[in-house]
Structure 1
Amino acid sequence: MDMMDLPLRVTRMTWEAEGVAGVRLSAPDGRPLPPWEPGAHIDVRLPSGLTRQYSLCGDPRERRHYTIAVRLVAAGRGGSAEIHGTALVGRELVVTGVGNHFPLGDADEYLLIAGGIGITPLLPMARVLAARRATWTAVYCGRGAATMPFRSELAATGADRVRFVDTATEPRPDLKALIGGLGASAAVYCCGPNNLLDSVTEICAATGISCETEHFGAAAPSSGTGDGEAVELELRRSGTTVLAAPETTLLQAIRNAGVDIESDCEEGYCGTCETRVLDGVPDHRDVVLSKAERASGRTFLPCVSRSHGHKLILDL
């Protein structure tokens, strides 16, 4: 199947936890779906026309269905409310792509840390690690056991390898002790709210442990060319140069130059506007790209990012 504009039918919706709906998507003709690896996400076009990105949380070995889980966010951008409030079973939704900015790499041991709905990309990792007989443990935190989806699935996968922490009734886990007890060749994978990811990233950096994270919201600006300075953008293929004023995003400046560029969230966490960088050093402010992708400097997200310098040359 071609992953561009792939129509899938909603064949089941389930109540996975308080405020969390599970959605199963299948090909209308029953054919196997394109393969995916743990950490992958899909872009789903909802009936309203909104496109939203959700982590795949099923078993990668199951090729007949894609499964996502969506927490209702009352103050969100509308996607979760539409999924929770619409009779979707039997309807076709369009999946426009499978991507993976959070791949599971090789390590001697693994620590998975989930916060709330952040369990969704980590559950497939746990399944694959268990199947490999790898050395791994998981810590799953949530405020109230009833709000934590896939508890039973994770427990069945990991048994005594998994620790559940209900922060409404018990202290938060000692992340320094958990990470400090890992071997030098271990890897930490963490998904959840920004404060959890910031803490885990800081501890891993201090201890020299490999760390990969996935956010569900935009990151804070990093230090680089400040928002008070303009950035010159040379759009190489278009033969155009444009100056992005301090109050203008680089994405908007590109559009102002008459160059079409796709986007969705415009907050740095969907990856739709990812653009190739030919020269210059991006100031990454997204929460999509991996450490390796950021370090390479070959790509960035112009919706939120700026520049460590006054000029970028882009493949546009």
Structure 2
Amino acid sequence: MSVKAVEIETVAIVASLVQVAQDVVELTLVPADGAQLPPWEPGAHLDVVLGDGLVRQYSLCGSPSVRDSYTVAVLRAPDSRGGSEAVHRLAEGQRVTIRGPRNHFGLEDSARYVFIAGGIGITPIIPMIEQADASGADWILHYGGRTSGSMAYRERLAAHGDRVRCVPGDERGRIDLEAALDVETADTLVYCCGPESLLAAVEERCAGWPAGSLHLERFSPREHELDGEDSAFEVVLEQSGMTLTVEPGVTVFDTMRAAGVAVLGSCLEGVCGTCEQGVLAGEVDHRDSVLDDDERAANDCMMVCVSRARSPRLVLDA
């Protein structure tokens, strides 16, 4: 059995739904059995199972010290594939299944932080700034949105005074990244979440920063330049005692599932990190949107829903 074949799954009740901005609803979820929920840290997200095959990931934006409920906030997206619409149709008292939490966007210790959020990307940042504030770190948040009314949690953030710089697009344009990132780079970490255009601009601006300074979380897969056509390769599953051939056009995830290996998956787009497997040997062709450059270079894990092999053979800890 894969080491990633089991994950905490909880039946939760929608305790409340509150509109916290235009087209943004906040859900408070409590366990149906009244038990304490698994602990989490800033940057973590949940899977919310919405029925009809819909599973979506939403960042936790409450307080990690609260163990009897989880809080997420969801934007009704105009180009939604059905997930955000399904959340906005939920009613108080309704039951949903949740999985996790899991975290590929954890807040590392630092003396200084620059937080940058665009739109609903504010959700994972909120518990981060509260932890940074509690630790006594120096930090600032640059928060952009289409309009003031579309920017969730502005009142909550106002308690932090001028450490929070709100930039409604219809009033002030876009976040001035050159000014926002014109800071001492030593011992400063940058955390950014939002639309791809914002993430790409921040990546470009931080290209010369020390390795490990920039941390991003994406809502959708990043574009990848492929070296050529996919070719078949061999995958050895160390724990399962199996050797499988991954054919062109078929994912490692689907190949494992077809062979009867229990492996977790959720987004199947390389965004959520659910399907991560340890790599014992071989070279990975990373195509995910989770790992940073250093983590990819380490070559000790892969997201099997999208990534492939650069070598003829991979050995997985599965």
Same fold? TM cut 0.5 = yes
Post-superposition offset of 1:125: 0.7
Q: Could you tell me which residue of structure 2 aligns to residue 109 of structure 1?
A: 112
In 1: Cα distance, 2:46 partner to 2:78 partner: 22
User: Counterparts in 2 of 1:255-274, with a 5 A limit?
Assistant: 255-274=257-276
Q: Per the alignment, in what secondary structure is the counterpart of residue 25 of structure 2?
A: strand
Contact preservation (8 Å) 2:185, 2:210 = no
In 2: Cα distance, 1:24 partner to 1:249 partner: 36
In 2: Cα distance, 1:9 partner to 1:122 partner: 25
Identity fraction in percent:
43
Does residue 91 (structure 1) correspond to residue 94 (structure 2)? The answer is yes
Q: Could you tell me which residue of structure 1 aligns to residue 193 of structure 2?
A: 191
Q: Please, what is the CA RMSD of the aligned residues?
A: 2.3
Q: Per the alignment, in what secondary structure is the counterpart of residue 80 of structure 1?
A: helix
In 1: Cα distance, 2:69 partner to 2:262 partner: 34
Q: Per the alignment, in what secondary structure is the counterpart of residue 169 of structure 1?
A: helix
Contact preservation (8 Å) 2:276, 2:303 = yes
Contact preservation (8 Å) 2:265, 2:274 = yes
Letter in 1 for 2:203: T
CA displacement 1:7-65 (0-9 Å, x = unmatched): 22211101111111110012346554332211111222225453322110012222332
Does residue 46 (structure 1) correspond to residue 50 (structure 2)? The answer is yes
Decide which moves more: 305-314 or 249-258. Answer: 249-258
Q: Could you tell me which residue of structure 2 aligns to residue 144 of structure 1?
A: 147
For structure 1, the residue ranges without an aligned partner over 5 or more in a row are none
Post-superposition offset of 1:144: 1.4
Post-superposition offset of 1:276: 1.8
In 2: Cα distance, 1:245 partner to 1:3 partner: 28
Q: Per the alignment, in what secondary structure is the counterpart of residue 168 of structure 1?
A: helix
Question: Out of 123, 134, 137, which is 1:131 matched to?
Answer: 134
Q: Per the alignment, in what secondary structure is the counterpart of residue 170 of structure 2?
A: coil
Letter in 2 for 1:38: P
Question: Out of 178, 181, 196, which is 1:179 matched to?
Answer: 181
Q: Could you tell me which residue of structure 1 aligns to residue 203 of structure 2?
A: 201
Contact preservation (8 Å) 2:142, 2:180 = no
Q: Per the alignment, in what secondary structure is the counterpart of residue 205 of structure 1?
A: coil
In 2: Cα distance, 1:62 partner to 1:259 partner: 36
Does residue 66 (structure 1) correspond to residue 86 (structure 2)? The answer is no
Question: Out of 217, 221, 245, which is 2:220 matched to?
Answer: 217
Q: Could you tell me which residue of structure 2 aligns to residue 159 of structure 1?
A: 161
In 2: Cα distance, 1:197 partner to 1:310 partner: 33
Q: Which runs of 4+ in 1 moved over 6 A?
A: none
Decide which moves more: 55-64 or 14-23. Answer: 55-64
Q: Could you tell me which residue of structure 1 aligns to residue 123 of structure 2?
A: 120
Letter in 1 for 2:306: V
CA displacement 1:115-143 (0-9 Å, x = unmatched): 11100000111111222232000000111
TM-aligned CA distance change 1:262 to 1:60, over 3 Å: closer
TM-aligned CA distance change 1:291 to 1:228, over 3 Å: closer
Contact preservation (8 Å) 1:74, 1:81 = no
Letter in 1 for 2:66: E
In 2: Cα distance, 1:255 partner to 1:227 partner: 23
In 2: Cα distance, 1:72 partner to 1:206 partner: 36
Question: Out of 59, 79, 83, which is 1:79 matched to?
Answer: 83
Post-superposition offset of 1:248: 2.3
Contact preservation (8 Å) 1:107, 1:186 = yes
Contact preservation (8 Å) 2:185, 2:209 = no
In 2: Cα distance, 1:123 partner to 1:50 partner: 26
Does residue 57 (structure 1) correspond to residue 64 (structure 2)? The answer is no
Question: Out of 7, 13, 25, which is 1:21 matched to?
Answer: 25
Post-superposition offset of 1:291: 5.2
CA displacement 1:255-301 (0-9 Å, x = unmatched): 34443433222111122222221111222222233555433322111
Q: Could you tell me which residue of structure 2 aligns to residue 234 of structure 1?
A: 236
Task: Give the structure-1-normalised TM-score.
Answer: 0.90
TM-aligned CA distance change 1:292 to 1:41, over 3 Å: farther
Post-superposition offset of 1:78: 1.9
Does residue 37 (structure 1) correspond to residue 46 (structure 2)? The answer is no
